[in-house]
Amino acid sequence: MEKRVIFKGWWLPALLVAPQLIISFLFFFYPSGQALWNSLFLPDPFGLKTEFVGLDNFKFLLTDPYYLESFKTTIFFSTAVSFFSMAIGLYLAALADRLIKGAGVYQTLLIWPYAIAPAIAGVLWLFLFNGNIGLVSYYLKGLGYEWNHTLNGDEAMFLVILASTWGRISYNFLFFLAGLQAIPKSVIEAAAIDGASFWKRFFTIVIPLLSPITFFLLVVNIVYAFFDTFGVIHTITSGGPEQSTTILVYKVFSDGFVSQDLGSSAAQSVILLLVVGVLTVVQFKYIERKVHY
């Protein structure tokens, strides 16, 4: 789509796009190029000189059990966060959509956690599960269960999934509610007159009609779980215990800034770039052939 009527001249538009392009080059393209470049080199332990090693950093990573473990952790973590936050979001949206009056009130009550930073969500849940003072761990102890996510990797994983899911429900709720409200009521009513129950209608009519939005949310939630949950991990577990919650983004950070392993960190950045690239392309492909009901 192009405008037919336009203004003339080229120096003014060049001036107008300049701020965005300068910032993009300085802070996006140049650093990404640097990451690509650095991923081909290996600095010596004293940081005095670097040696060109070709794809050795990548070869090393793809055979490094810690890195492969981190990949598995990330996939498990993001699948769990996407699944639970979407399931709960859809469940609440389906309920709110049934109401004639009051859907707006519930919307207000359910969407505000979107404003809470993942790091703060982490702090809130950490406080509840704190071994000494946490309310939930206290009652678990009463039930005879000794909660300690600083030693038990499964408990740590549970806690970061819980905190990330909790913060994400509002987002999925809002999109599903918008999607549900866009479904023409006449379709649902026709099915109801034919005698289909609420759940029957939900699974045979509503879910298929929601599939475009579900696919979109799936991609967006995976991106969220891959990248935006850094704050949750950093506040609750710092990747521990024993790397059990070290997702890929956390590993780039800890290898690059904590252990100063720059070649490996750069190679990891490049792999993550590929992941984001693929996810972005998938998402845009979806927008191109977005289905309208």
Partner 1 sequence: MVEKKKSGYWLTHAGLIIGVLFIFFPVWLTFVASTVNQEEIINPPLPLWPGTEIFENYYHALFKGGREGYGSNEPVINMLINSSIMALGITIGKIAISLLSAFAIVYFRFPFRKTCFWLIFMTLMLPVEVRIVPTYEVVANLNLLNSYTGLIFPLIASATATFLFRQFFMTIPDEMVEAARMDGCSPMRFFIDILIPISKTNIAALFVILFIYGWNQYLWPLLMTTDPDMKTIVIALDAMIPAGDDFAHWPTVMATAMLAMLPPIAVVIGMQKFFVKGLLESDK
Within 42-101, the residues that bind partner 1 by CB under 8 A are: 88, 91-92, 95-100
For position 211 contacting partner 1 by CB under 8 A, the verdict is no
| Residue numbers 99-128 binding partner 1 by CB under 8 A | 99-100, 102, 106-121, 123-128
Among 27, 76, 145, 203, binds partner 1 (CB under 8 A): 27
State in angstroms the smallest separation of the CB of 110 from partner 1. 6
State in angstroms the smallest separation of the CB of 38 from partner 1. 7
* Among 52-60, 63-71, 72-80, 268-276, the segment contacting partner 1 (CB under 8 A): 268-276
When the beta carbons of 60 and 106 are compared against partner 1, the nearer one is: 106
- Cα separation, 263 vs 291, whole angstroms: 44
Residues in Cβ contact with 289 at an 8 Å cutoff, skipping those fewer than 6 apart: none
State in angstroms the smallest separation of the CB of 40 from partner 1. 14
Q: For 248-267, b where at least 16 C-beta lie within 10 A, e where not — what string?
A: bbbbbbbbbeeeebbbbbbb
For position 183 contacting partner 1 by CB under 8 A, the verdict is no
Residues in Cβ contact with 137 at an 8 Å cutoff, skipping those fewer than 6 apart: 128, 129, 130, 131, 147
Record the tokens describing residue 278, joined without a space.
């693929």
State in angstroms the smallest separation of the CB of 41 from partner 1. 13
Among 135, 151, 207, 291, binds partner 1 (CB under 8 A): 135
For position 176 contacting partner 1 by CB under 8 A, the verdict is no
State in angstroms the smallest separation of the CB of 63 from partner 1. 22
DSSP label at residue 10: S
Query: What does the chain come to in residues?
Result: 293
State in angstroms the smallest separation of the CB of 253 from partner 1. 7
- Shortest CA distance to 259 belongs to which of 1, 10, 47, 101? 47
- Cα separation, 126 vs 96, whole angstroms: 30
